[in-house]
Structure 1
């Protein structure tokens, strides 16, 4: 592991230098060992000559000459071996450099190819490679380039197609947006026209309704009230209630509704008196109880009228015939609770009765906007609402903050 980490970042050039150095060292070691072995043979030959010369009583001069010839032979042999070793090393070094240059050329060709492959679509000529392994690698590299070029061409065609589709889609969306703007403007103009119509209708309706109701009151002062006249009066008061709802809806965004101190107990009594004729026409009666007198709230009278009138008229409309509508006003802590209860059909979805245009019975008359208007006002003025309905009674309750609390 240590050797592997040591040579992990070695370049080819560094590896070549290391290889040549190792070969040179081993060559020198080989030459040294060979020379050492020859020198030992030389010493053995000298010892043998001494022995031989002692046996035949050779002269000292002959021994010196023989020793000199052996030494010259040894030097000559050593020089030949060293020279041959250097020649062999030079031949090996030359072949190594040749193959190394060829290897470096092939490697550099691949390096240049991969460096330029991201910017140029080019291939490698296999004939420029010397080694067979690199020629095989060239085939793989050229095949890879061909596949990449094919995919690139396919992606370019796809991008062109996507651009055309995006342009077409954008043009279609722009046309749709233009049509939507026209429809929006048309709807806005239609809504404005509707508001103007309602404003005009509400304004023009007030006078004839007031004339009819005043005429009935004057007529009753001098003549007894008959059944037909009672029906007319009840119908006019119903129309008045609808008129007040429409008038509030038309004006609520343009008109400010200031608050004032109101005697809640007397105000509810006055509205019950106003709708008594309507209740009698629907064959129901009122039972109004207040647990204390002079109970006041700080509220806008127009908004309070919408809450009280819509709740009372709704009770008259849905109470069963010959039943009593119980209207109560009682103090609960710092609040005044106004409740209207009567025996009617069970309300299945008490959470939905305040939704716009919702009616549990399709056969009943009305637009379903009254209680929605009540919910809006209660949310604005922080009036808490609760509705309960069972076989015995359906009750609407509203909690107002009492004056002075």
Structure 2
């Protein structure tokens, strides 16, 4: 537990205890003065509630304002630092693209390619960090976008690792309103699983019908006894596969937050995942 969190809990506990004591004292005084009966009960109770709320406001404001102010300053510093990190990375990327046109030597071209790949990875990490920080300290704005674009981006990412697996995507011209970066991440996770748990020369089929985005993969079907725990953090049906069991948990968290119903259905020759996007369709 962090020191700030510990101090907050201690301060809050002391404040609550003090307010309770003051309310009990006020209650004793009012009951002694006016007596306790059916007529005075409601009046005394309302008066004590108002007293407790006002006392809590005036005591908590000077106590917690410094804590909230330090958090606000930290958020501002993180945002500014993150913005500054993007500038040199983008500058390197732009200059590498210019140098590529002029370098003819094969050895130098390979070195430049390594710089380019490293810079692209750095920018990916930047975008990931920016999204995660915004998700924690800001409200993520929704926007309209084509599901087709998200799916094609995801399919391109896995082109080199899908091996003998065929990916069939029939989704066309479907627009939804949601968190675009977050939606891209859940599609990446679902497609990654569809490839990971597939079979040799298997198939991944992606289609959209009646507001339902469906991703089906051939291979071993998910065990029905795991359907109730498949979204639990760290759960892995096959412990021999690489990973930490975080993917589907993050997918479920995103879906719940964005009113997307997700279902996993075992089939005779594989597994199908359905995302109900009716509440997100523009």
Q: Which TM-score applies when normalising by structure 1?
A: 0.38
Structure 2 residue 264 is matched with structure 1 residue 391? no
- Matched residues in 2 for 1:323 and 1:253: separation? 38
Deviations 1:225-262 (A, max 9, x none): xxxxxxxxxxxx99999997776545421233211111
Alignment of 1:188-199 (within 5 A): none
Tell me which residue corresponds to 1:297. Answer: 176
- Matched residues in 2 for 1:371 and 1:284: separation? 21
Tell me which residue corresponds to 2:213. Answer: 338
Question: 1:347·1:394 contact (CA, 8 Å) conserved in 2?
Answer: yes
In structure 2, do the counterparts of structure 1 residues 390 and 294 end up closer, same or farther at CA, with 3 Å as the change threshold? closer
- Matched residues in 2 for 1:329 and 1:393: separation? 18
How far 1:371 moved relative to its partner? 1.2
In structure 2, do the counterparts of structure 1 residues 261 and 309 end up closer, same or farther at CA, with 3 Å as the change threshold? same
Structure of higher RCO (CA pairs closer than 8 Å, 6+ residues apart): 2
How far 1:272 moved relative to its partner? 1.5
Question: 2:222·2:270 contact (CA, 8 Å) conserved in 1?
Answer: no
Which of the two has greater helix per residue? 1
Alignment of 1:120-159 (within 5 A): none
Question: 1:289·1:327 contact (CA, 8 Å) conserved in 2?
Answer: yes
In structure 2, do the counterparts of structure 1 residues 389 and 378 end up closer, same or farther at CA, with 3 Å as the change threshold? same
Structure 2 residue 227 is matched with structure 1 residue 347? no
Deviations 1:323-352 (A, max 9, x none): 11111122x1xxx22111112223221222
Tell me which residue corresponds to 2:190. Answer: 311
Alignment of 1:214-253 (within 5 A): 248-253=131-136
Q: Gapped runs of 5+ residues in structure 2? A: 7-77, 107-119
Q: 2:149 aligns with which of 266, 282, 307?
A: 266
- Matched residues in 2 for 1:346 and 1:299: separation? 30
How far 1:186 moved relative to its partner? 6.6
Secondary structure of 1:354's partner? coil
- Matched residues in 1 for 2:272 and 2:132: separation? 26
- Matched residues in 1 for 2:231 and 2:184: separation? 17
- Matched residues in 1 for 2:247 and 2:125: separation? 8
How many aligned positions are there?
184
In structure 2, do the counterparts of structure 1 residues 241 and 345 end up closer, same or farther at CA, with 3 Å as the change threshold? farther
Tell me which residue corresponds to 2:161. Answer: 278
Deviations 1:172-194 (A, max 9, x none): xxxxxxxxxxxx447969xxxxx
Secondary structure of 1:351's partner? coil
Structure 2 residue 281 is matched with structure 1 residue 400? no
How far 1:355 moved relative to its partner? 1.2
Secondary structure of 2:277's partner? strand
Q: 2:234 aligns with which of 357, 360, 366?
A: 357
Q: Which TM-score applies when normalising by structure 2?
A: 0.53
- Matched residues in 1 for 2:126 and 2:219: separation? 26
Question: 1:284·1:321 contact (CA, 8 Å) conserved in 2?
Answer: yes
Tell me which residue corresponds to 1:374. Answer: 251
Q: 1:328 aligns with which of 199, 202, 207?
A: 207
Q: Which moved more, 1:343-352 or 1:242-251?
A: 242-251
- Matched residues in 2 for 1:347 and 1:275: separation? 22
Tell me which residue corresponds to 1:66. Answer: none
Q: Gapped runs of 5+ residues in structure 1? A: 1-183, 190-195, 224-236
- Matched residues in 1 for 2:121 and 2:230: separation? 20
RMSD: 4.0
Question: 1:342·1:393 contact (CA, 8 Å) conserved in 2?
Answer: yes
Deviations 1:373-402 (A, max 9, x none): 111111011001110113312011101125
